[in-house]
Amino acid sequence: MKQKLLALAVAVGLVVGAAAQAADTVKIGLMAPLTGSWASEGQGMKKIVELLAEQQNAKGGVLGKQIEIVTEDDGGDPRTASLAAQRLTTKGVAAVVGTYGSSVTEASQAIYDEAKIPQIANGSTAIRLTEKGFKHFFRTAPRDDEQGRMAAQTIDKLGFKTVAILHDSTSYAKGLADEANALLKKKGTNVVFFDALTPGERDYTTILTKLKSANPDVVLFTGYFPEAGLLLRQKKDMNWKVPFIGGDATNNSDLVKIAGKEAAEGYYFLSPPQPQDLDTADAKAFLAGYQKKYNEMPASIWAVLAGDGFQVMVAGIAGAKSTDSAKIADYLHKDLKGYAGLTGSLSFDAKGDREGEVYRVYQVDAEGKFIMQK
Amino acid sequence: MEEFFQQLTNGLAVGGIYALIALGYTMVYGVLKLINFAHGDLFTYGAYLGLTLLTSLALTDRLGFVAGVLVLALMVMGLVAVLGAILERAAYRPLRESPRLSAVVSALGASIFLQNTLMLIYGARFQVYPDHILPAATLNIFGLYLPLMRVLIVLASVVMMVALYLFIQKTKIGTAIRAAAIDQGAARLMGIDVNRVIMLVFLVGPALGGAAGLMVGLYYGQINFTMGWVYGMKAFTAAILGGIGNIPGAMVGGLLLGVIEALGAAYISIAWKDAIAFCVLILILIVRPTGLLGERVADKV
């Protein structure tokens, strides 16, 4: 009984304390996977958003008030996320940044929409998220079909005329392969091969032999890095010198370890830029500040996209001159054009999707390093 | 035609590995009528032990490539053999008199245990054999590209299989193994120590599986703790295809499965490769329920 009373007293104290503060700060919610299997992403998101809030407050905050970040853990799990979203809606936040996984974001979307709180997701790339007609939902991450468009464009730009497409039957890889295939055919590029390998095997020489007889200028492989590494290695053993292009699922340093440096050299892949490759002056200053405060680089680009989400929301509140959700959403949809974010320029279309290119082309050099192509 | 032969050699290289692993399944089944589901994981242990010994002892640097790899192979085979014997002692012998299903469940449990132990020791990331250990020579025979290592892998598998066949057919111990496989009770009455025969089977089978693991590691480079599952399933299929319990059957089944996969992928569809292989298996089992070379009816498990 005593414990319950104590807990009640603490709870009342917290609520009263929070209410007392509400008047002189603008609260922005952060929903992130602080625990669970994506914890490193979530911790990175928290560090970045807190640093940016600190910097913004030093410049005077927004609407003449200081910004207060209210963080909730979604555990990288849809059920935990819906609870976290419900807690955030009761805390008087003007906007919410987050979260990482598509299914986790999906579990929270309707809750924020009903509470009329603008939400900006950072790592959720599933197409369906912005096809539901939510007026208050935005994302800084590219959509999955964006990558297919970029793949087709890159193949075109590098001047390849005949293309072989290989996927691994996962929904991600097959989706990307289908998207690229349709776009390439529309452009008149000759797709001479389209098939899937079985992930988890060791020997892909059968597939490579068949690919070789189709004689493509380039092979687009949309699967993951373990298979990509083996393909490159066995391709080299076969003395076949065709270039390979992969998707962002091959952006992993283990790729070079598996393939060996010689076999990996020259391999192209598409990926959002690595944090260390962000090249605008703002981004460089931010990375230096991050390095100083936390003594490390941001773990991934997805966490940096949460920072962009935060900045966009602050810009939205400042632009709308209000914390009214309809005005913020309206401003972001219509008036925010070419905002200079950490990962490049930010604008949003009517669905809340980010406009402009996020993907970059990378190539593996002789040292096995991933070099961003200009 | 050139592509056909290229695919044929691709299939034989994969099939050689399947056959080596299949021998472990079929030997255990022949004597104990037990499917040793942990066998695929012993294969994985061969790959991991090979990596650890290779990097920590620097064998190929000290002894040169040929002697280094031979010593390495003997060490790995010995260690995995001991592991197999421990597995038999711990997971199967206590259940020798129990219903058959108990031993199968124990085998699955042992598989999970072995796999996760490996993950705890080495971590869940992919492990990679060091580059440039193997000669990267490629033979060019009438326009066919045959990496030297593939040829050596097929040769090594064949040598081991022939040695095993001669051991089982021509030696006294081999005769004892065959006798125990036919009728354990009668074998015991003839003065054969059946427990020792079973122990021996659990030494030889895993040793071959371990050697296969080492070859996969050396040639393909990339290994991870779950890889025994795919190879184990394929090898088990190969053992059934050739007639489980029959040693030449496992060899034929393994090589045949590899070739069917390669040709199916080449001429029908890559994505349907496994489905094609299993369809062939079903067709063969309809015509010959005991497998290609099987004589006794596989009636249990």
- pLDDT grade, residue A19 (50/70/90)? very low
**Whether residues A295 and A241 fall in one domain:** no
Pairing of strands A268-271, A360-364: antiparallel
Residue B241 lies in a domain: no
Specify if B167 maps to a domain. yes
Tokens of B293: 């070379």
Q: Residue A184: what pLDDT?
A: 94
Which is nearest to B77 in space by CA: B251, B229, B214? B214
Asked, for residue A316, whether it belongs to a domain, the answer is yes
Contact A216, A207 (CB under 8 A): no
Are A335 and A250 members of one domain? no
The whole-number average pLDDT for the span A95-110 is 92
CA distance A150 to A222: 12
What lies within 8 Å, CB to CB, of A325 at 6+ separation is A94, A95, A116, A117, A118, A136
Label residues B198-236 b or e (16+ Cβ within 10 Å = b). bbbbbbbbbbbbbbbbbbbbbbbbbbbbebbbbbbebbb
Same domain, A13 and A129: yes
Average pLDDT of the segment spanning A178-200: 92
Q: Answer whether A169 touches B (CB < 8 Å).
A: yes
Q: Is residue B92 one of the residues assigned to a domain?
A: yes
Q: In terms of CA atoms, which chain B residue is nearest residue A240?
A: B145
Strands (E), chain A: 25-32, 66-73, 95-97, 119-121, 137-139, 162-167, 190-196, 218-221, 244-246, 268-271, 339-341, 344-346, 360-364, 370-372
**Cis-peptide into A99, omega within 30 deg:** yes
In a domain? residue A186: yes
The answer to the question of residue B237 being in a domain is: no
Helix pair A102-114, A78-89: axis angle to 10 deg: 30
> Which residues of A are less than 8 Å from B144 in CB distance?
none
Give the per-residue pLDDT at A10: 54
Of A105-114, A298-307, B283-292, give the range with the top mean pLDDT: A105-114
Does a structural domain hold residue B208? Answer: yes
Rounded CA separation A230/A202 (Å): 7
Give the domain extent around A151: 145-271
Distance linking the first and last C-alpha atoms of chain A: 66
* Residue range A308-319: mean pLDDT, rounded: 95
Based on the fold, state whether residues A195 and A159 are members of the same structural domain.
yes
- pLDDT tens for A218-243 read 999 999 888 999 999 999 888 899 99
pLDDT-derived band of residue A20, with 50, 70 and 90 as boundaries? very low
pLDDT (tens place) for every residue of chain B, 301 residues total: 778 888 998 899 999 999 999 999 999 998 888 899 999 999 999 999 999 999 898 887 788 888 888 999 999 999 999 999 999 999 999 998 888 889 999 999 999 999 999 988 988 778 898 877 776 677 777 777 777 888 888 899 999 999 999 999 999 999 999 999 888 899 999 999 999 999 999 999 999 999 999 999 988 888 988 899 889 999 999 999 999 888 889 999 999 999 999 999 989 888 888 899 889 889 988 998 888 887 654 444 4
Check residue B141 and give its pLDDT.
73
A135, A61, A55: which is closest to A333 by C-alpha?
A: A135
Per DSSP, the three-state class of B35 is coil
A186, A243: one domain: yes
Task: Tell which wins on pLDDT, A1 or B86.
Answer: B86
Phi, psi values for residue A129, rounded to 5°: -60, -35
The pLDDT of residue A4 is above 80: no
Rounded to a whole number of angstroms, the CA Rg of chain A reads 23
Is the domain of A135 the same as that of A150?
Answer: no
Band the pLDDT of A23: cuts 50, 70, 90.
low
Residues A261, A208 share a domain: yes
Token digits of residue B80? 């995995």
Residue A136 lies in a domain: yes
H helical segments located in A188-320: 205-214, 225-237, 254-259, 261-264, 281-294, 301-320
Q: How far apart are CA B4 and CA A212, in angstroms?
A: 13
Counting the structural domains of chain B, the total is 1
Q: Kindly state whether residue A362 falls inside one of the protein's structural domains.
A: no
Look at B265 and A206 and tell me if their CB atoms are within 8 Å. yes
CATH of the domain at A315: 3.40.50.2300
Residues 6 or more apart from A88 whose CB is under 8 A from it? A29, A31, A70, A72, A96, A112, A117
Is residue B31 situated within a structural domain? yes
Cβ neighbors of A374 (< 8 A, separation 6 or more) are: none
Q: Is residue A370 included in any domain, yes or no?
A: no
pLDDT at A12: 52
Query: Are A23 and A155 found together in one domain?
Result: no
Q: What is the pLDDT of residue B300?
A: 42
Residue A138 sits in the same domain as residue A173: no
CA distance A122 to A108: 14
End-to-end CA distance of chain B: 43
The answer to whether position A259 is within a domain reads yes
The whole-angstrom distance between residue B255's C-alpha and the CA centroid of its chain comes to 12
3-state percent breakdown (helix, strand, coil) of chain A, nearest 5: 50, 20, 35
Residues of B with CB under 8 A from a CB of A: 3, 6-7, 10-11, 13-14, 125-126, 128, 131-132, 136, 138, 145, 147, 216, 220-222, 224, 226-227, 230-231, 261-262, 265-266, 269-271, 273-274
Is B270 in contact with A206 (Cβ distance < 8 A)?
Answer: yes
Do the domain assignments include residue A366? no
Is B162 within a domain?
Answer: yes
**B26: containing domain:** 20-228
CA-nearest residue of chain A to B222? A258
Whether residue A173 is found in the same domain as residue A215: yes
Nearest CB partner across the interface for A257, out of B128, B145, B230:
B128
A209 touches chain B (CB under 8 A): yes
Which pLDDT score, from 0 to 100, does residue A286 have? 93
| A104 and A178 fall within a common domain | no
The number of domains in chain A is 2
Domain-located, residue A89: yes
CB A198 to CB B262 under 8 A? Answer: no
Q: Which residues partner with A231 through β-bridges?
A: none
Q: Residue A70 in 3-state DSSP?
A: strand
Asked whether residue A161 falls in the same domain as residue A230, the answer is yes
Question: Is it the case that residue A18 has pLDDT exceeding 60?
Answer: no
